[in-house]
């Protein structure tokens, strides 16, 4: 099967009988940089491209990563590289991680967006409307005040409250004296 058939890998399906033997070098080691057109050498032919907009004759690994949409990356490893070990070898490469980290972040945002729109649709269904609305409110509503913890007030909180009450009481007493409700000089 020609290398371009990797681009035709069915999403969510099994890889057709693709010979991944070209994914190892002469010493039996997993190829990493040499698999990509951007790092192609004369010794090995490239299969993938890292360019987001693709490159003719090469599998766009970014598009495949996003199409597969697996945050565990297991299906990406199996469908595109034939093994988890090969994927791990790639993810140990700093040059590859520069690309992969942005893809991972984008995939998470896309998945969050998909969940959001799914929940918005669920608000129209009487059976799921309440739970969907609650999920949306918890996730995207006004943030709750997390500064106050549940339970008994601390000693400092009690002292601050009592001090504020004392100040309020003094202010009220002074106001009452000023308007003539209390004698100017307290009995002593």
pLDDT tens sequence across 36-65? 999 887 888 888 999 988 888 888 999 999
- Do the domain assignments include residue 164? no
Identify the pLDDT of residue 186: 60
SS3 111: helix
Q: What is the pLDDT of residue 19?
A: 56
Tens-digit pLDDT profile for residues 132-186: 888 888 888 777 766 767 788 889 989 999 999 999 988 888 888 888 887 766 6
Do 69 and 107 meet the contact criterion of CB atoms below 8 Å apart? yes
127 DSSP 8-state letter: T
Indicate whether 154 belongs to any domain: no
Length of the chain counted residue by residue: 188
pLDDT digits (tens, 9 = 90+) for 112-129: 999 999 989 988 888 888
Query: Is 79 buried (19+), middle (13-18) or exposed (0-12) by CB count in 10 A?
Result: buried
Pairing of strands 48-49, 59-60: parallel
- Cα dist. 149→3, 146, 161, 167 in Å? 59, 7, 16, 25
Q: What is the mean pLDDT of residues 82-111?
A: 94
What phi, psi does 30 have (nearest 5°)?
Answer: -65, 130
What pLDDT, on the 0 to 100 scale, is given for residue 17? 52
pLDDT average, residue stretch 71-90? 93
Model pTM greater than 0.75?
Answer: no
Look at residue 170 and tell me if it is in a domain: no
Q: Note whether residue 133 is domain-resident.
A: no
In a domain, 117, yes or no: no
The pLDDT confidence band at residue 7, using thresholds 50, 70 and 90, is: very low
The residue range of the domain holding 66 is: 3-109
Residue 70 in domain: yes
Q: Does residue 27 fall inside a structural domain? A: yes
Examine residue 9 and state whether it is found in any structural domain, yes or no. yes
Give the chain's domain count: 1
Look up residue 29 and give its two tokens. 């080691």
Count the neighbouring beta carbons within 10 Å of the beta carbon of residue 120.
Answer: 12
């Amino acid at each position: 099967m020609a290398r371009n058939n990797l681009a035709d890998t069915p999403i969510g399906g099994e890889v057709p009988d693709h010979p991944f033997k070209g994914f190892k070098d002469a010493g039996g080691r997993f190829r990493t940089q040499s698999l990509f057109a951007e790092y192609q050498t004369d010794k090995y032919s490239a299969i993938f491209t890292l360019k987001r907009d693709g490159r003719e004759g090469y599998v766009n690994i970014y598009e495949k990563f996003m199409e597969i949409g697996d945050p565990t990356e297991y299906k990406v490893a199996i469908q595109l590289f034939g093994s988890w070990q090969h994927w791990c070898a790639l993810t140990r490469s700093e040059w590859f991680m520069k690309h992969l980290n942005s893809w991972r972040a984008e995939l998470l945002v896309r998945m969050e967006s998909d969940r959001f729109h799914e929940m918005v649709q669920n608000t129209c269904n009487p059976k799921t409307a309440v739970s969907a609305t609650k999920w949306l409110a918890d996730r995207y509503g006004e943030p709750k005040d997390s500064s106050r913890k549940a339970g008994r007030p601390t000693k400092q909180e009690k002292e601050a409250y009592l001090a504020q009450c004392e100040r309020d009481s003094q202010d009220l007493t002074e106001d009452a004296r000023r308007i003539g409700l209390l004698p100017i000089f307290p009995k002593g």
